[in-house]
Structure 1
Amino acid sequence: MKRLFLIIPRLTVSDANALSSSLTIGFPAITAWLGFVHKMERELRREHIEISFPNLGIVIHDFDLAVFKGVGDYNNSIVGKAYPLSKEGERSSFIEEARCNLNVSLAIECQYAGSRPFSEIGEIVQHILHSKMKLAGGDIQKSQSPYLVGIEDNEEGYMSIIGKIPFGFIPIERRDLLKNVAAEDNLDELLDSLAVSNFSEIDADEDAEKRVSWNSKRKHPGWIVPLVTGYQGLGQLYDAGETLNTRDSSTPHRFVESIVTLGEFVSPYSLSSIDDMLWSYDYDSENSQYLCRNQSV
Structure 2
Amino acid sequence: MSNEANVPQNPAVLVVPHLRVQNANAISSPMTWGFPSITAFTGLMTALERRLGRDAGIAFFGVGVVCHGFEAQVTDSGYTRAFHLTRNPVLRDGSTAGIVEEGRVHLDLTLVFEVNVDDAHRSEAEAQLLAERVAHELAGMRVAGGSVMPPLPGSARQFRRPLLELRYDDSQEEARSKQFRRLARRCLPGFALVSRDDLLLDRLAKLREEQPEASALDAWLELASWTQRAVQRPPKNGETEPTVEWVSDTRIGWTVPIPVGFAALSPVHPAGSVAGARDKETPFRFVETVWSIGQWISPHRLHRLDDLFWYPTTQPDIAADAEGEIDLYCCRNDYTPPTPARLAEASV
Same-fold status (TM-score > 0.5): yes
Aligned-pair distance for 1:184?
Answer: 7.1
Matched, 1:110 2:127: no
SS in 2 for 1:128: helix
Q: 1:58 to 1:87 in 2, by over 3 A?
A: same
Distance in 2 between the 1:93 and 1:206 partners?
62
Checking the alignment, whether the CA contact within 8 Å between 2:10 and 2:118 is kept in structure 1 is no
Q: Which residue of 2 aligns with 1:123?
A: 132
What letter corresponds to residue 288 of structure 1 in structure 2? D
Checking the alignment, whether the CA contact within 8 Å between 1:54 and 1:280 is kept in structure 2 is yes
- After superposition, give the CA deviation of every residue in 1:244-288 in whole Å (9 maximum; x if it has no partner): 342222221201111111111112222211111110111110131
Q: 1:269 to 1:146 in 2, by over 3 A?
A: closer
Checking the alignment, whether the CA contact within 8 Å between 2:185 and 2:300 is kept in structure 1 is no
Q: 1:248 to 1:205 in 2, by over 3 A?
A: same
Matched, 1:63 2:90: no
Aligned-pair distance for 1:94?
Answer: 1.9
Checking the alignment, whether the CA contact within 8 Å between 1:2 and 1:150 is kept in structure 2 is yes
Distance in 2 between the 1:243 and 1:56 partners?
32
Alignment of 1:224-243 (within 5 A): 224-243=255-274
**TM-score, structure 2 as length reference:** 0.76
Percent identity between matched residues is: 30
What letter corresponds to residue 112 of structure 1 in structure 2? V
Selected match of 1:288 from 311, 327, 331: 327
Structure 2's unaligned 5+ residue stretches are 1-8, 152-159, 170-175, 318-325, 337-348
Checking the alignment, whether the CA contact within 8 Å between 1:198 and 1:217 is kept in structure 2 is yes
Q: Which residue of 2 aligns with 1:52?
A: 59
Q: Which has the higher contact order (CA 8 A, sep 6+)?
A: 1
**TM-score, structure 1 as length reference:** 0.88
Checking the alignment, whether the CA contact within 8 Å between 1:9 and 1:166 is kept in structure 2 is no
Question: Which region of structure 1 is more displaced relative to structure 2, 33-42 or 181-190?
Answer: 181-190
Q: Which residue of 1 aligns with 2:182?
A: 160
Aligned-pair distance for 1:62?
Answer: 1.3
CA RMSD of aligned residues (A): 2.7
SS in 2 for 1:242: coil
What letter corresponds to residue 120 of structure 2 in structure 1? S
Larger radius of gyration: 2
Distance in 2 between the 1:150 and 1:166 partners?
21
Distance in 2 between the 1:191 and 1:207 partners?
41
Checking the alignment, whether the CA contact within 8 Å between 2:63 and 2:111 is kept in structure 1 is yes
Selected match of 2:248 from 216, 220, 245: 216
Distance in 2 between the 1:197 and 1:6 partners?
40
Report which of the two has the higher share of strand: 1
Q: Which residue of 2 aligns with 1:97?
A: 102
Distance in 1 between the 2:214 and 2:94 partners?
50
Aligned-pair distance for 1:217?
Answer: 2.3
